[in-house]
Amino acid sequence: MRRNEELGHSASGGAISNLSVMRGETRLHEPMARHVSWRAGGSAERVYIPADINDLAEYLRGLPAGLPVVFAGLGSNLLVRDGGVHGVVVLLHGALKRIALESRLKGANWENEAAEGHGVVYAEAGVAAPKLARYAASHDLVGAEFMAGIPGTVGGALAMNAGCYGSETWDVAAQVLTLDRQGHVTERSAADYTLGYRHVALNSGAEEWFVGAWFRLARGDGALSRQRIRELLNRRIASQPLNLPNAGSVFRNPPGDFAARLIESCGLKGMRIGAAQVSEKHANFIVNLGGATAANIEDLIDEVEYLVSRRTGARLLREVRIIGTRL
């Protein structure tokens, strides 16, 4: 890390006013291939790894108004184009990592909640979703087992209502903690959002990022919960190409159908552009065979979309997020 006095201006010309008091880590021109699960793509102009939520709030307050900000966790549904990313990428994994049992939900009538046999786990946005599943099970709380199959962080799971095996993140997320560009921290409930399949939108339309959440879970048999987690992980290992860099499911499942079935029905398993390949194990995965560029991956996504639409009439919607500039 360079000294703070060397980092005081953004490429857009605005001064970042509070670097001298920041407790987190700033990196310039950071290769994002290190931070996305596809292991491909360009560099971020600036990366910030916060010390905690208060540090992140202070950092955001000091940014120039027009400087773009992107939040990233494990990078498991993210592609950074080869030309890189202008602005700031905030890395949460390994930074916002607190996880703990809570005595009650904020503002809730906990006497009634407890009588119904529930408990609460609080997890910050940088906690890996599988860790949340294991932590809950170790405290005899059940219902979060499916999160062991989500290859991302709590923040990412909240932002896209990630799910698998018939359950979704907001099925168990009772309350969330958010942060806006001005550094304001707000507690919200599901009622503040429009929720859907791989879709979460704040009703007010304001720009906020998830930094933590309270998960309301039933009390149950922790041993059975841990067994269920092992079973789900075994299913994932058996059905997904986890031996190669990938970003999980590339496309959302259309209503009443599966993206993988549509792609496979078009004979696209194994299709390649450069070192990017439609997985031969699971058609809704694109894998990096070694040395794939972000352009290879994006071009393959585009081609799969086009061919499925032309041959079946179905429109595939992307689950992955693509940011940055093409070379």
Q: What residues are annotated to the active site?
A: 198, 249, 319
Vertex 255: Cα angle to 252 and 259 (nearest 5) = 40
Helix (H) or strand (E) holding 3: none
Are the C-beta atoms of 4 and 19 separated by less than 8 Å? yes
Instruction: Catalogue the E-assigned strands of 19-59.
Output: 25-31, 43-49
Are the C-beta atoms of 56 and 211 separated by less than 8 Å? yes
Residues β-bridged to residue 26: 48
Backbone phi, psi, residue 88, to 5°: -120, 135
Nearest Cα to Cα of residue 77 among 167, 163, 175? 163
Are the C-beta atoms of 28 and 45 separated by less than 8 Å? yes
Number of other residues whose CB lies within 10 A of the CB of residue 282 = 20
Residue in the block written with tokens 């070379």? 327
Residues β-bridged to residue 69: 88
CA distance 227 to 233: 10
Backbone phi, psi, residue 118, to 5°: -120, 160
Q: Which two tokens stand for residue 265?
A: 């029905």
